[in-house]
Amino acid sequence: RNPMSVQAVLRSMGDGLVLVSASDETETLRLEAVRRDFVANVSHELKTPVAAISLLAEAVTDAADDPESVERFSQRLVHESNRLSVLVNELIVLSRLQGADPLPDLSVVEADAVIAEAVARTATLAESAGIDLVTGEKTGLLVMGDRPMLLTALTNLMSNAVHYSPAGTSVSISCVLRETVVEISVTDRGIGIAPEHQQRVFERFFRVDQARSRATGGTGLGLAIVKHVAANHGGEARVWSKPGLGSTFTLRLPQYRPAPPVESSTPPAGR
């Protein structure tokens, strides 16, 4: 895949927003404002780690005679540059999802396999946070989709569940079929989300608590990615939450059912 410059990403994301503009004039104005806010937000979010990196790089140079300081500044330099790289990667993922192009790598995906892989990816994080991951029975359900994107979405939901829950609680992942929709839910017993914030958490860069999100290395883009992955698969992302009790985030995707083999009505050749 071609690497994209940050400017190209911003441009394509802005264009994406214009493409979805509705006929209604107020909606168009609202989208314009969303787009302006978004560009301002990205600039701000990028400036913070970039400024920190340049200050730390100077500090390392100035502290050349003091190995302990060099060590300390270098560690922070690595931390800030990792943050920046996560942020840029998430912006690129989001811009791809918002582009007009259809998802490129569609295949039949087993829900059980995506769940198992997302659990494996979150296991270390959960263990260090003292949180138990609980998986439901296998279902054999299938969806047609972009496997890496689905995995990213589910991993985002699971790492949020871990980040916003206290130690000693559990996070459970379940999968059920509702009519023709495969519902994958991630339930935590964490801090929960107030009703007025529940829809806003899917907006880019919206965080209920800036400080807490930053402390966990959050970019504020995780749920925006989840929402777009769901939409690009013809599905949706939903949240149910009660402050103090916990949250359930659900990824709803159209079920894929292989067509039954067609019995041939043509007589075999040669008769």
Q: Which is nearer to ligand ADP, 142 or 160 (CB)?
A: 160
> Quick check: 16 binds ligand ADP (CB under 6 A)?
no
Tell me: does residue 213 bind ligand ADP (CB under 6 A). Answer: yes
Q: Is 191 in the site for ligand ADP (CB under 6 A)?
A: yes
Cβ atoms of 223 and 152 closer than 8 Å: no
**What is the residue whose two structure tokens read 């009790």?**
245
**Segment near ligand ADP (CB under 6 A); pick from 47-55, 114-122, 143-151, 191-199:** 191-199
Q: Return the number of the residue (74 or 169) whose C-beta is nearest ligand ADP.
A: 169
Among residues 164, 173, 182, 230, the one that binds ligand ADP under rule CB under 6 A: 164
Task: Tell me the number of residues near ligand ADP by CB under 6 A.
Answer: 23
CB of 39 to ligand ADP, least distance (A): 18
Check residue 42 for interaction with ligand ADP (CB under 6 A).
no
HEC per residue, the chain: CCCCCHHHHHHHHHHHHHHCCCCCHHHHHHHHHHHHHHHHHHHHHHHHHHHHHHHHHHHHHHCCCCHHHHHHHHHHHHHHHHHHHHHHHHHHHHHHHHCCCCCCCEEEEEHHHHHHHHHHHHHHHHHHCCCEEEECCCCCCEEEEEHHHHHHHHHHHHHHHHHCCCCCCEEEEEEEEECCEEEEEEEECCCCCCHHHCCHHHCCCCCCCHHHHHHCCCCCCHHHHHHHHHHHCCCEEEEEEECCCEEEEEEEEEECCCCCCCCCCCCCCCC
- Applying CB under 6 A, among 16, 49, 220, 235 the residue interacting with ligand ADP is 220
Judged by CB under 6 A, the residue of 188, 229, 233, 237 near ligand ADP is 188
Q: Which of 16, 49, 218, 235 binds ligand ADP (CB under 6 A)?
A: 218
Identity at 59, one-letter amino acid code: A
Q: Which member of 173, 222, 228, 250 binds ligand ADP (CB under 6 A)? A: 222
* Subset of 244-263 contacting ligand ADP (CB under 6 A): 247
Question: Which range touches ligand ADP (CB under 6 A), out of 44-52, 105-113, 137-145, 184-192?
Answer: 184-192
Minimum distance, C-beta of residue 191 to ligand ADP, in the bound complex (Å): 5
Closest CA to 163 of 122, 102, 116: 122
- The encoded tokens of residue 234 equal 């013809």
Q: Among the candidate windows 6-14, 115-123, 138-146, 188-196, which touches ligand ADP by CB under 6 A?
A: 188-196
Q: Which residues bind ligand ADP (CB under 6 A)?
A: 156, 160-161, 164, 188, 190-193, 201, 206-209, 213, 218-224, 247
